[in-house]
Amino acid sequence: MTRSLGTTSTAQGRPQKQDARILHLDDRSQWLAWKTAEMLFTLLLSKQLRRRWLLEHEHVQSTPVSQRLRPVALLEPVSTPAGWSKSRGTSAAEMEALKYHVRLLRASAEKGKELVAEMERRIQRGDPTSFCHSCVADDDREVFLTKCGHRVCLTCVRYSTNDQGQYECCICFVPTSFVSGRRTLGPRGR
């Protein structure tokens, strides 16, 4: 087999394309691609958060006000595309930080999709929607509401607390605290 820039040849002389997954971009194009991914995943995540909020809001309408758990929706701010400066460029640290942020957004969006599906399933069965968003346990555990809008059980809180005693949300991967006085019982504890 002989190699040229974009194709290879088989023994019969027919051209065969190289693997299309390998694509090398210059720094500017790579930065723009990651910024685009950041905006798209942020929009997707915000859409899922809004969907979760609407599902919970509709579901609790029949519940007495004193027993309701107020849904919290904190949407991700959508970043705006900043101009690319050839003289400034982007440092390797900035690029790695952007890539890391996109990976976190993607993981949060994937988990958000699972949470929406679980909420829809529970609503169809008539179960309460206050469940641990981390382990999705279907028992009578107490569930705590975090300031980032997720619900976690005490077991998951223990596993996700760092050495300084700060809880790091295992859904959105950021340190957070709890909304005071907003704890609920699990499905069987009501």
Report the pLDDT value the prediction gives residue 19, as an integer from 0 to 100: 58
Report the pLDDT value the prediction gives residue 5, as an integer from 0 to 100: 46
- With beta carbons less than 8 A apart as the criterion, state whether 134 and 156 touch: yes
pTM beyond 0.75 = no
CA separation (Å) from 32 to 13, 24, 27, 182? 38, 13, 9, 41
Cα dihedral across residues 41, 44, 46, 48: positive or negative: negative
Is the pLDDT at 182 greater than 50, yes or no? no
Task: Encode pLDDT of 36-63 as tens digits.
Answer: 898 898 888 888 878 877 887 777 677 6
Topology (CATH level 3) of domain 130-190: Herpes Virus-1 (3.30.40)
Q: Cα 80 to chain center, whole Å?
A: 19
Domain parsing of the chain, residue ranges: 26-82+89-128, 130-190
Task: Encode pLDDT of 119-148 as tens digits.
Answer: 788 778 777 667 787 887 766 778 888 877
